[in-house]
Amino acid sequence: MVIKRVAPLSVAKIAGTLYAAIGVLAGALVSLMAMAGAFAAGQSSDNPMAGLFAFVLGGGAIVIMPIFYGCLGFIGSLILASLYNVVAGAVGGVQVEVE
């Protein structure tokens, strides 16, 4: 069995969803680190706004990163799936052995 063509929009939807899920995990990690930074900055009296900034940045990471990762994954995989179709038409597709 040879895969000669893939539907770019189908690939992009799947990849965008997977990248958004990765963005949720990455956003959670960034959020935890920012919250720890906010706590540490809150302990020092040099700049009281540093803790607030880290706190807001950490909360925003949970919202922004999945959207950012999902959009980049969607656009990137749409382009790559389209390029795959062009290259597969010129040199053949990917051979897959299925039982």
Backbone angles phi, psi at 94, to 5 degrees: -85, 130
59 torsion bin: left (phi>0), alpha (psi -120 to 50), beta (else) = alpha
Q: So what's the pLDDT on residue 82?
A: 96
CA pair distance 97, 85, nearest whole angstrom: 20
Q: So what's the pLDDT on residue 50?
A: 65
| pTM of this prediction exceeds 0.85 | no
Question: What is the full per-residue pLDDT of the chain (99 aa) written as tens digits?
Answer: 888 999 999 999 999 999 999 999 999 998 888 877 777 766 665 666 666 677 777 778 888 999 999 999 999 999 999 999 999 999 988 888 888
